[in-house]
Each structure stands twice: as structure tokens, then as C-alpha cells.
Amino acid sequence: MKNTRESIISISQLDNASIDHLLKLGSKRILRKGKVLFHPKSYHHYLHIIESGVVRAYTHYKGKEVTFWLGMEGDIVFPYRTYMFGKTSYETVELLEDCLFHSFLIKDLLHLFESDLKWATWGRKLAEKELIKMEERFISYLFKTAKERYNQLIEQKPEIFNRIQLQHIASYLGMTQVSLSRIRGEY
Amino acid sequence: MKNTRESIISISQLDNASIDHLLKLGSKRILRKGKVLFHPKSYHHYLHIIESGVVRAYTHYKGKEVTFWLGMEGDIVFPYRTYMFGKTSYETVELLEDCLFHSFLIKDLLHLFESDLKWATWGRKLAEKELIKMEERFISYLFKTAKERYNQLIEQKPEIFNRIQLQHIASYLGMTQVSLSRIRGEY
DNA sequence: CTTCTTTTTTAACAATTGTTAAATTTTTCC
DNA sequence: GGAAAAATTTAACAATTGTTAAAAAAGAAG
């Protein structure tokens, strides 16, 4: 459980008045496990901050689901492709647990970004932090074996293994479920 | 060959006066093939826009070089880790051709980002675009075979094969040089 | 042009990961 | 609790990719 205000501040410090202003524009909602938040080939109008729960983003390749992102408390579900280029997205975002979201219209957020230096800076830092995370994850895939990637995840985010099905973790780690099971069985 | 003004505008439209102001803060320099632009475990004070030439960023893992980024005309060499966290970096950036850079003090750029909404927006869009590129590259690694990654690169950036050594391309594609050679030999 | 150095290819073999299918375990639902 | 469905593990085998070493090709220097 992590409240929206903390999530926002953890990206970059902001005064309370600015945050209050944003919070008034958003709304909270609870959605059930299994619900699909974003469908592929559609436009997404909301950004969601996760207060509790877990979601995964996946796409299809050669008839199989590929889970490329997992989000939990404090993470931000931001459909960058739609937001930046007005393009439809290729991903499905599905809830793996009941979730509490704090949701904001991307339109409202963009308006803040384009009119208020403080929010523009916040938006910049959000993208910069996501970029660093993605780059670190990418580099570790570029030269680590399946077993090394598994060990790294166990070390860095052990709680994932208690909350998320192994088939999704396997995909997230870039291997088949059978390979993950084999690696786990070795110990 | 791509001039700095075009590179800046291609991230996000900006008025000429704003760009002129930035350009006055920077300086051009020519560096020779083989020169190292960033050393690991050091602080990087400059952002470089590549007007011509090719560079690669690499790091070491298990005694081997891993090339994780290639930049050419129009690309921006931005040491995000140093810039965001004041941390030293893990990467080496090396010139694979003679290069013409337009270089700016990160300090100057940050000052613009923090004082001018137009530049803050430009900085946000820069990070957002880099994020999308990184995410697309990452997803394609998550579920494509070595051969598919090779075919994709041939299709998307064929000029790379005329300008960059195959050993570096192999690493960039997440495979050994021998594997790349084998894949190329199959046709 | 010739020699030396570096890069790339080829080959044989080893290790890792994928595929398919069946067995087992866990979860869901009545 | 018990049946059905879903998830996970196990096993056998196939395909891909890595490793090492040597040969061939390409590039640099005199």
C-alpha cells in the first residue's frame, strides 16, 4: 500500500499545493483481479498510479503472450505510446490482483506539463527514471544467462515470487515456463 | 551529417531564439576515431550531439565488452546516470569514426530545464523518446531469437553494417561474434 | 607490393534453452 | 470434502547459441 502523494514525491519533490491541485483532478477506483485495464489497438486516456495490487503488461508474439512489464504499489501505468504519438498501443494491461488505482486523464496531465514548470520538471524526471530502469534491465538481458537473470530477480524483488504466477515471471525473464521450472529445480 | 538545430527540433519543435540561445552556450569539436569520450567510474559534464560519425557505449561483464548502444548522426550522447544521480557511470563511450560533436555543459542544460518551460518540455520529450526506443528494443530482445534480431537490424538500420565492425554489432545484438558470423553464413 | 596485425569465418564440440507431452500439484468451485 | 480446471514440474529430445581453436580474409604500415 502506497499512497498517491508518496508516489508522486518519490519521482521528484513537489510542493503540497501543486500535488493537491493534481489530486483533485483524479479519482480513485478499485478494480478486480482479471480485469483488463488497457486493450491493444485502442487509445488510452488515463494514467494510473497503483496504490495497491499488481498488474502486468503483455503483448503477443508468434501466438504466445510476452509479459514485458510488471507493476505494483507506487508504480505508474503510463501508456507512453498513446500519450506521445496518439498511436494505438500493442499492449494489454491486466490485473493480477484486486487493485486500487488513482487515475488521471492524460489530457489533464499534459495540460499541467505544458503550462507549469514544476509539473513539466516532474514529467521530465518521471520519463528519465523510467528510462534508467529500462536501460538497466535491458543491459542485464543483453549479457546474462537465464539462470543469472532469475538469481538477480530473486535478489532484487523476491516478493514477486509470492504474488505473481511463475508463467508470467518466466515470460518477464525472457524464458519459457519450463526453463524457469528447470532452473528452480536445480537447487 | 545532421546539424545540431535539426537534431534539437526533431526531438520537439522549438522557436529559433531559444535554440540560438542554447547554441551560443555550446561548442563544436572534432575528435578522432579511437578516442574515448567517457571513461567509466568518472563524472561526465557534457552532453554531445553527434553531427557526424559513429560512437559506441560499452561496459564489461565477465571480462568481455558488451556494446549496448550505438549512436550516429543526429543522436544525442547523454550520460543520464551522472546527470540524474550525480553517480559515476559504468560505461565507456568510444569513437568508431572521426566525429564532429556539438557539446554542451550538462550544468547549462539543467539550468535551462529548471528555468524555462519550453526547455523543460524539450527535456521531457527527449527522455520520453529515448524511453520508447529503449522499450521497443528491449521487447524485441525478450522474445526474438538471435537470427530474428539480426534480420530486424538489417531491415531497420542496414547502414550500420557498412560502418561498424561485426564484433560490435554482434554484442549490440546480444550474441557472440561467432554466432553472428554463423547466421550471416547461412544465406 | 609485402609483411604484420586485426577482423571475420569456419569447424567441432559443449552447454543452454526450447518444445512437446505427460505427471503432479495447487487452486477454484460446487 | 471432492471434482474439475489451472498451474507447475518433470522428462526426453531437438534446436539454438556459446566456446575454443585454427584458417582465411581484410586492413594497416612500411
B174 touches strand D (CB under 7 A): yes
Tell me, what's the pLDDT at B143? 82
* pLDDT recorded at residue B62: 83
Q: What is the mean pLDDT of chain B?
A: 93
Distance from CA(B6) to C1'(D16), angstroms, rounded: 43
Which neighbouring-strand residues pair with B36?
B94
Of B129, B77, B133, B102, give the one whose Cα is nearest residue B5.
B102
Tell me the percentage of chain A whose pLDDT exceeds 90: 81
How far apart CA B185 and CA B54 sit, in angstroms, is 26
Cell triple for residue B44? 561526465
Q: Which residues of B touch A127 (CB under 8 A)?
A: 124, 127-128, 131
Q: Out of A30-34, A82-86, A109-113, A174-178, which region has the weakest mean confidence (pLDDT)?
A: A82-86
Return the axis-axis angle of helices B16-25 and B4-11, rounded to nearest 10°.
120
Residue B33's pLDDT is 93
Only one residue has cell 556539438, namely: B102
Q: Are the beta carbons of B83 and B38 closer than 8 angstroms?
A: no
Q: What is the pLDDT, as a whole number, of residue A12?
A: 96
The reported pLDDT for the residue numbered B80 is: 87
> What long-range pairs does A178-183 form, CB within 8 A, spacing at least 24?
A179/A146, A180/A146, A180/A150, A183/A146, A183/A147, A183/A150
Residues A138, B143: C-beta atoms closer than 8 Å: no
C-alpha cell at A94: 491486466
Would you list the domain boundaries of chain A?
4-115
* Residues A148-159, mean pLDDT to the nearest whole number: 95
**Digit-coded pLDDT (tens) for B61-118:** 888 899 999 999 999 999 888 888 888 888 999 999 999 999 999 999 999 999 999 9
Is strand D in 7 Å reach of the CB of A177? yes
pLDDT of residue B97: 94
Thinking of the domain B4-136, which architecture would CATH place it in? Sandwich (2.60)
Q: A81 vs B132: CB contact, 8 Å cut-off?
A: yes
- Rounded, the Å distance between the CA of B67 and C1' of D22 is 26
- Give every CB contact of residue A79 below 8 A, 6+ residues apart in sequence: A38, A44, A47, A89, A91, A106
Q: Does A120 touch chain B (CB under 8 A)?
A: yes
Give Cβ neighbours of residue B44 (< 8 Å, ≥ 6 apart): B38, B79, B82, B83, B89, B106
pTM of this prediction exceeds 0.85 = yes
Which three three-digit cell numbers place residue B56? 559506441
Indicate if CB(B179) is under 7 A from strand D: yes
B141 touches strand C (CB under 7 A): no
Q: Which residues neighbour B33 within 8 Å (Cβ) at sequence distance 6 or greater?
A: B95, B96, B97, B98, B99
pLDDT at res. A163? 95
Give the minimum alpha-carbon distance from A149 to chain B in angstroms, rounded to a whole number.
12
* B187 pLDDT above the threshold of 70: no
Distances (CA, A) of A179 to A158, A166, B140, B174: 19, 11, 19, 19
pLDDT band at residue A14 under the 50/70/90 scheme: very high
**Contact in structure between A42 and A65 (CB atoms under 8 Å):** no
Q: Residue A14 corresponds to which cell in the numbers above?
A: 513537489
Higher pLDDT among residues A44 and B125, named by residue? B125
- The pLDDT of B55-66, averaged and rounded, is 91
Nearest CA-CA distance, residue A174 and chain B, Å = 5
pLDDT for residue B2 is more than 90:
no
Question: Residue A187: its pLDDT value, please?
Answer: 61
Q: What is the pLDDT of residue B5?
A: 96
In single-letter form, the type of residue at position B148 comes to E
Contact A139, B59 (CB under 8 A): yes
Summary mean pLDDT of chain A: 93
Nearest to A117 among B81, B120, B174 (CB): B120
Fold for A4-115, please state it: Jelly Rolls (2.60.120)
**What are the pLDDT digits (tens) for A17-50?**
999 999 999 999 999 999 999 988 888 899 999 9
Residue B92 pairs in a beta bridge with: B58
pLDDT score of B140 = 83
Q: Is the CB of B27 under 7 A from strand C?
A: no
Query: How distant is C1' of C5 from CA of B33, in Å?
Result: 18
Distance, first Cα to last Cα, chain A:
33
